[in-house]
Amino acid sequence: MYRFFSLWIFSYLWLLPNTGLSQVVLNEVQSSNNATITDEDGEYEDWIELFNTSSTEIVDLSHFGLSDDYNQPFRWIIPGGTTLAPKEFLIVWASGKNRRNPEQPLHTNFSIIRNGEEILLTHPKLPPDEHLVDEIPSVAMPSDVSYGRATDGSGEWVFFDQPTPGASNTATPGLGTLLDTPNASPPGGFHTGPLFLEVDSEQENVVIRYTLDGSEPTSHSPLYIGPIFITNRSGEPNDLSEIMEISHSYAPAAPPFEKVFKGTVVRARAFRDGDLPSPAMTETYFIDELGHERYSFPVVTLNTNRKHLFDHEKGIYVLGNVHEQWLNEGGDILDGGAPANYNRTGREWERPAHFTLFEKDGSKAIDQDIGIRIHGGWARAFPQKSFRLYSRSDYGTNRFNYRVFPQLELDDFNRLILRNSGQDVTSTMFRDVYIQESVKHMNFDIQHYRPVVVFLNGEYWGIYNIRQRYDRHYIETHYGVHEDELDLLTRSAANAKEGSPSDYIELRNFIDDEDMSIADNYEYVKTQIDIENFIDYFIAQIFASNTDWPHNNIDFWRKNHGGYFPDSDIPEHDGRWRWLMFDTDFGFGWWSNAFDNTIRRVTGTGRYEGSNILFDGLMDSQDIRHNFYNRFADMLNTTFKTERMASLLDSLKAVYAPEIEEHINRRGDADKWNYPLNYNDWLSQVDVMYQFVENRPGYQWQQLMNFDDRDTFALILDVSDSEHGHIMVNTIFINPNTIGVNQDPWPWRGYYFKGIPVTLTAKPEPGYEFVRWLERVTEDTDPINDDPDKALQCVKYFTFSTEPVIEVSSDKSIHLVAEYSITTSLDPPPNNIPKKFELTQNYPNPFNPLTVIRYDLPVSSEVHLEVFDLLGRPVATLVATHQEAGTHQTTWNASGHASGIYIYRLRAGDFVQIRRMTLIN
């Protein structure tokens, strides 16, 4: 029946008259629209113009297709009911928004790459494999230039530097060839002495015009007639850094203490009558006797027309017209959120720029046109502002294809942030970096960092940190979740960045209204929230004493595909909510103290609606409360130990120290925020963090004890031989690979809370087996000669348990020893064949670089044990063979792989199980 129906439809289409197909043409297209025309949302999107060449006939456009891919000729279908009158134009937005209401503006489900891709108009009435009605070949278009027919419907194609969307192409003159970008010799970068720059073009009869101020050359710019002499410009007067209308009394600007280091920005374009000028060549030259060794950081250059940043009307870096109007209307409270140009958001406040990243060896790593916006909250009010960097097809490429963060195995970014360190811009310049780095091994995402020195139009602008931005692109590249299935929310009010907050608000109301001590309620919540992620995230924020949280600076997300899917190949696809850490600048002593009782602040009545509901409600569950206390104790006994936190602080201080003095010189003295005025002042700001590191653990222990009115006990652990095995306490492995555990950890001492069972797991090394737990007891013998001060002590050992996994809860200190012995075989005896397939958690975890993976086979099976990254890409195959029933293990050496979370999967016959493990370099 289906085959007959399909053939009938096909025959019917062939019998239809061909009227209307050939008279509809693609007339004009724009693939980089930054200022030409906006859609109904006020956004500058790509567009395609159709034209009906007939003078008499109305064309029904129903079922016509538009595409940018020969392999998908009907990628987007024009909806039924769409018509085109004689000599009429139709604009279809190539925005990716996929809107198909014929009564409203139409939007395709794809956008167009500026560097060029085919545009196809198709119809199913045409023969199979020949559906093409019209096409535009792949053509690169500069920003705000279109490509279209010289006259409407004609066969001659030209460029328009004044596009005509929805109007006749004859309204503006067309231009022929798009000229090639000029060449520069030598290329930009760091040079040890003055040089002569030569600029040329391989095309004939062109003239080259150039600028030295960061703006794109126009037909009125200086004419290049010979080599340009480039020298060190640092002795010249400061320019952009003397502009003071970039902030108000909340954080007043100040000129640099001295003249700042400067580079020379050269931008050049080729011009020829009748042709379209070339894209701009952009190079920045730094002349210094040290060359690239002048800086210990990579160097970033942002070059753009100064009006894009500092113009009163359109500049995104200044107080500007927005602030002036606010004052004229009676505004008089100059807080960080006072209206200003730099507080404006959205595409309207994005400006084109050229971005270059020079690595520490001077090599050019990234070199492309981008869009820039100002980034942040109240930190926008500081003179040094953060930039958000946008890679779009409108600017030539829609990716930053470079491994920006060496510790992260990823070279595909849509958005990056040049962050000024938030509120900590007044202090150390790395507080948020430090806080996030200290907890990057815990069960939530952190923003990786890369410190850089930034130049704005060739003028030194100070230290920044390159960071990732949490948005739909981040979730897609890290977890493979498309925006159509993404709910990404922010702030305690659950504002939607992507998707919908409705399910989250319903869950929050459920936790607020229902009793979480009831097992069924808690079991339901576990299907909605990744509890491990939630607990770890709150522990990290509480310990950091981040006072600008949880009402603010809180992002959380899930893959929304209609339920809970615990067996998802990628754990983060299970449909549960997870939290992301960012903007922790108010912690570790900036706007907080080591004695701040943050755990009290995240319970009870929150500062804003919903800020404390989840934590307060979930803590009513004994399971969560015990897990929270045990995990916090695990972290206090390892990660948050003063020695470990101080060592990390030492390392980061050493990273930033070489660049601080030049940064302080650029910032000057605004006499408001007690900025460091010299290197010693900066050291005193870092000392605030050292004091926090020293004092916070003690205060934190006491606050946890007070919160639940419970004391602690000392847990002392040892092993019979450190080469025979180790011990896992709750969630941590006691071995040198665990952060915060000494190289020689035995005997290990930690503290835990009375009344909360602590889980101990004996972990024998390969070739050894667990025997028993021994309790070490010290007893006093009789005094010598009746002198109590001369009592002798006797150490005795008693069998405490023979089970490898035990729970310990004690009212006093307890000292246990895990005893191991040599085993003759890793395979269990026949009567001990495992009863089920199981892939166990690797150990140690986190690890560096070796980890052991064990698995049970109840029957002989064809076994495949593989490792993948979070994008599902294969990393290693550990086992691929037939194995007999029994317990097996293998070791993975992850040397050469980047830090991060990896997936390992066991396939044995029809059985499949997946787990995660964390590599820490």
Distance between CA atoms of residues 322 and 324, nearest Å? 6
In this predicted structure, what is the pLDDT of residue 128? Answer: 55
Q: Is pLDDT at 14 greater than 50 in this prediction?
A: no
Mind listing the pLDDT tens digit for each residue in 329-380? 998 877 888 999 999 999 899 999 999 999 999 999 999 999 999 999 999 9
Which whole number is the average pLDDT over 88-107? 94
Distance between CA atoms of residues 215 and 269, nearest Å? 11
Distance between CA atoms of residues 637 and 639, nearest Å? 7
In this predicted structure, what is the pLDDT of residue 34? Answer: 84
Closest by Cα among 358, 216, 231, 220 to 282: 216
In this predicted structure, what is the pLDDT of residue 779? Answer: 72
What DSSP assignment string belongs to 439-465?
TTTSSSB---EEEEEEEETTEEEEEEE
Q: What is the CA radius of gyration of the chain?
A: 33
Confirm if 422 and 449 have CB atoms less than 8 A apart: no
Which whole number is the average pLDDT over 234-251? 95
Better-predicted residue by pLDDT, 753 or 673: 753
In this predicted structure, what is the pLDDT of residue 313? Answer: 97
What DSSP assignment string belongs to 35-46?
SS---TTS---E
* The one-letter amino acid at 31: S
- The tokens of 454 are what? 């930034």
Distance between CA atoms of residues 878 and 297, nearest Å? 38
In this predicted structure, what is the pLDDT of residue 7? Answer: 29
pLDDT band at 789 (very low <50, low <70, confident <90, very high): low
* Phi and psi angles of residue 711, each rounded to the nearest 5 degrees, phi first: -95, 180
Q: Is pLDDT at 15 greater than 50 in this prediction?
A: no
Mean pLDDT score of the chain, rounded to an integer? 91
Beta bridge partners of 207: 271
Distance between CA atoms of residues 76 and 74, nearest Å? 5
- The tokens of 221 are what? 């710019």
Q: Is pLDDT at 708 greater than 80 in this prediction?
A: yes
Percent share of the chain, pLDDT over 70: 94
The residue behind tokens 């590599």 is 919
Q: Is pLDDT at 436 greater than 80 in this prediction?
A: yes
Q: How far apart are the first and last CA of the chain?
A: 62
The pTM for the full model equals: 0.84
Confirm if 279 and 433 have CB atoms less than 8 A apart: no
Question: Furthest-apart CA pair in the chain: how many Å?
Answer: 125
In this predicted structure, what is the pLDDT of residue 2? Answer: 28
Tell me the three state secondary structure of residue 286: strand
From residue 523, give the alpha-carbon distance in Å to each of 265, 526, 567, 730.
61, 5, 17, 21
* Dihedral (CA of 607, 612, 613, 619) sign: negative
Q: Is pLDDT at 791 greater than 70 in this prediction?
A: no
Highest mean pLDDT among 259-263, 389-393, 559-563, 606-610 belongs to 259-263
Q: In sequence order, which residues have a C-beta less than 8 Å from that of residue 889 and are 6 or more positions away? A: 766, 826, 852, 853, 854, 855
* The one-letter amino acid at 6: S
In this predicted structure, what is the pLDDT of residue 16? Answer: 34
Q: Is pLDDT at 11 greater than 60 in this prediction?
A: no
Better-predicted residue by pLDDT, 795 or 181: 181
Question: Of all residues in the chain, what percent are helix, strand and coil, respectively (each to 5)?
Answer: 20, 30, 45
Confirm if 116 and 139 have CB atoms less than 8 A apart: yes
Mind listing the pLDDT tens digit for each residue in 866-902? 998 877 788 899 998 888 888 898 888 888 888 778 8
Mind listing the pLDDT tens digit for each residue in 777-787? 987 655 555 55
pLDDT band at 4 (very low <50, low <70, confident <90, very high): very low
Confirm if 640 and 623 have CB atoms less than 8 A apart: no
Mind listing the pLDDT tens digit for each residue in 602-647? 876 555 567 889 999 999 999 999 999 999 999 999 999 999 999 9
Q: Is pLDDT at 909 greater than 70 in this prediction?
A: yes
- The tokens of 702 are what? 């006491």
- The tokens of 728 are what? 């896992």
Which whole number is the average pLDDT over 131-150? 91
Confirm if 646 and 695 have CB atoms less than 8 A apart: no
H or E element in which residue 559 lies: strand 555-559
Distance between CA atoms of residues 39 and 97, nearest Å? 11
How far is residue 410 CA from its own chain's centroid? 11
Q: Is pLDDT at 182 greater than 80 in this prediction?
A: yes
Phi-psi region of 600 (alpha: psi -120 to 50; beta: other; left: phi over 0): alpha
Distance between CA atoms of residues 326 and 160, nearest Å? 39
Q: Is pLDDT at 54 greater than 70 in this prediction?
A: yes
Distance between CA atoms of residues 538 and 704, nearest Å? 13
* Phi and psi angles of residue 409, each rounded to the nearest 5 degrees, phi first: -80, 70
In this predicted structure, what is the pLDDT of residue 844? Answer: 78
Distance between CA atoms of residues 111 and 119, nearest Å? 10
In this predicted structure, what is the pLDDT of residue 920? Answer: 78
Cis peptide before 849 (omega within 30 of 0): yes
The residue behind tokens 């670089």 is 849
Q: Is pLDDT at 217 greater than 70 in this prediction?
A: yes
From residue 190, give the alpha-carbon distance in Å to each of 227, 442, 849.
18, 40, 37
Distance between CA atoms of residues 66 and 47, nearest Å? 12
pLDDT band at 757 (very low <50, low <70, confident <90, very high): very high
In this predicted structure, what is the pLDDT of residue 790? Answer: 53
- The tokens of 141 are what? 């278009």
From residue 356, give the alpha-carbon distance in Å to each of 95, 283, 439, 785.
27, 9, 31, 83
H or E element in which residue 541 lies: helix 531-544
pLDDT band at 5 (very low <50, low <70, confident <90, very high): very low
Mind listing the pLDDT tens digit for each residue in 501-541? 999 999 999 999 999 999 999 999 999 999 999 999 999 99
In this predicted structure, what is the pLDDT of residue 289? Answer: 97
- The tokens of 869 are what? 């990254």
